[in-house]
């Protein structure tokens, strides 16, 4: 951590210089506030000694520095008669040293401060999440991929998980519509404006269910500015903030979708019980294998119903794997929920379609099922 100083040099600066050397640093001293402020722009964090001077108000100077550099750690160095504890607290200083001072006092103060900052960083790293990613894909529109994405996210959030949706249907994504939300910022703004230190939350649109959504660009042509590198970056950022990231994709395999699949912990292929969709779903699975995406893909049959000539067993034969979940056809409730912008697991939680989605969420997050309480027999 770099060390700087400003103020009167009438006091023994050798003590401060010795402390800096002890901590493997050099002490840089400044006579003017503007010069110090300019230098601090180059540092994320720094310890700043501000010593008493008849030419400036050290308390005011501390406040002014913290306005422009909120991460610095200012230490006020004042004669006993100049120390006002109320002013010290209001200035934002982290500590005060009485002048004249001795080396042990300064080194102890600095050491305690550095240890406290290291402890805070350690705690922050422990709090930082390492979320999981599930990507929902399909080979054609209309199979219910976005319906499953939006409702699965809500079902996960109902389990006290922090959940985000990333809408990667970059040209015609409508996840926001499914929640009746109009985003002020989207993935496009994030790629254009955000820096590594920008809070990703400011680019999310929040829903009352607790789900946060990174919406797709509001104009189809904006999608051309978004590439695979952006997607990799946004996924990694979201994983640090959320327990689960649910990604909605278009019915295609473009670069951005492949990046999402590569960074997924789980891949769900949504299919339906008609031969064209099943044929394309089989081709999709073969394509993933050919590009060496060896992660197991979980098949979800959506809009399950009694159809002559096709049943779940035939679907398994065609795709050569069992379905992970089967979601019944409930056109009335689902369409009403979409038109109202209210996910079906919220609007009709007891419907079979909602129960199936909750089951899908439980399987993914691997929550243990509650044991049924045994009824006591009458004596």
Give the pLDDT confidence of 32-43 residue by residue, as tens digits: 899 998 888 877
pLDDT digits (tens, 9 = 90+) for 51-97: 888 888 899 999 999 988 888 899 999 889 999 989 998 999 999 98
Q: Tell me what pLDDT residue 41 has.
A: 80
Three-state secondary structure readout of 253-322 = CCHHHHHHHHCCCEEEEEECCCHHHHHHHHHHHHHHHHCCCCCCEEEEEEEECCECCECHHHHHHHHCCC
Whether residue 92 contacts residue 58, with contact meaning beta carbons closer than 8 Å, is answered with: no
Judged against a pLDDT cut of 50, whether residue 374 lies above it is answered with: no
Work out the mean pLDDT of the chain and round it to a whole number.
Answer: 86
23 has a pLDDT exceeding 90: no
Tell me, what's the pLDDT at 45?
A: 73
pLDDT at 375 over 70: no
| pLDDT above 70: residue 126 | no
Name the residue ranges covered by the structural domains of the chain. Answer: 2-125, 132-365
Topology (CATH) of 132-365: Rossmann fold (3.40.50)
C-beta separation of 257 from 226 below 8 A: no
- Fold for the domain defined by 2-125: Rossmann fold (3.40.50)
Question: At 217, is the pLDDT very low, low, confident or very high (cuts 50, 70, 90)?
Answer: very high
Q: What is the pLDDT of residue 308?
A: 75
From 56, 57, 90, 94, select the one nearest 72 (Cα to Cα): 94
For position 211, what pLDDT does the model report? 94
pLDDT of 309 reads 73
Cis peptide upstream of residue 277 (ω within 30 degrees of 0): no
pLDDT at 376 > cutoff 70: no
Q: What is the mean pLDDT of residues 129-134?
A: 88
**Average pLDDT of the segment spanning 149-178:** 93
Q: Which of 91, 35, 39 is nearest to 67 (CA)?
A: 91
């Amino acid at each position: 951590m770099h060390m700087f100083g400003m103020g009167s040099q009438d006091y023994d600066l050798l003590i401060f210089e010795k402390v800096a050397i002890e901590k493997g640093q050099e002490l840089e001293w400044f006579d003017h506030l503007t010069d110090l402020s300019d230098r601090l722009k180059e540092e994320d964090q720094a310890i700043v000694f501000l010593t008493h001077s008849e030419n400036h108000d050290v308390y005011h100077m501390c406040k002014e520095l913290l306005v422009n550099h909120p991460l610095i750690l200012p230490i006020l160095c004042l004669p006993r008669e100049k120390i006002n504890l109320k002013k010290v607290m209001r200035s934002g200083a982290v500590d005060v040293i009485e002048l004249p001072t001795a080396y042990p006092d300064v080194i102890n103060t600095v050491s305690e401060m550095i240890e406290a900052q290291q402890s805070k960083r350690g705690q922050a790293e422990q709090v930082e999440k390492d979320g999981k990613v599930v990507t929902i894909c399909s080979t054609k529109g209309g199979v219910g991929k976005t319906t499953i994405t939006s409702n699965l996210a809500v079902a996960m959030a109902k389990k006290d998980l922090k959940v985000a949706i990333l809408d990667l249907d970059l040209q015609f994504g409508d996840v926001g519509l499914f929640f009746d939300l109009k985003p002020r910022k989207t993935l496009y703004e994030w790629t254009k404006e955000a820096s590594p230190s920008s809070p990703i939350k400011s680019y999310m649109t929040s829903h009352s269910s607790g789900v946060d959504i990174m919406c797709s660009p509001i104009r189809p042509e904006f999608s051309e500015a978004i590439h695979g590198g952006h997607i990799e970056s946004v996924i990694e950022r979201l994983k640090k903030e959320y327990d689960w990231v649910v990604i909605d994709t278009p019915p295609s395999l473009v670069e951005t979708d492949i990046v999402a699949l590569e960074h997924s912990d789980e891949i769900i292929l949504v299919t339906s019980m008609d031969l064209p969709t099943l044929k394309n779903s089989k081709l999709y699975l073969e394509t993933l294998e050919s590009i060496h995406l060896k992660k197991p893909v979980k098949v979800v049959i959506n809009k399950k119903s009694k159809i002559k000539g096709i049943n779940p067993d035939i679907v398994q034969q065609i795709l050569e794997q069992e379905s992970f979940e089967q979601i019944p056809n409930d056109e009335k409730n689902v369409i009403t929920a979409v038109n109202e912008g209210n996910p079906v697991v919220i609007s009709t939680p007891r419907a079979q379609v909602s129960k199936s989605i909750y089951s899908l969420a439980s399987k993914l997050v691997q929550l243990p099922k509650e044991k049924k309480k045994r009824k006591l027999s009458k004596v």
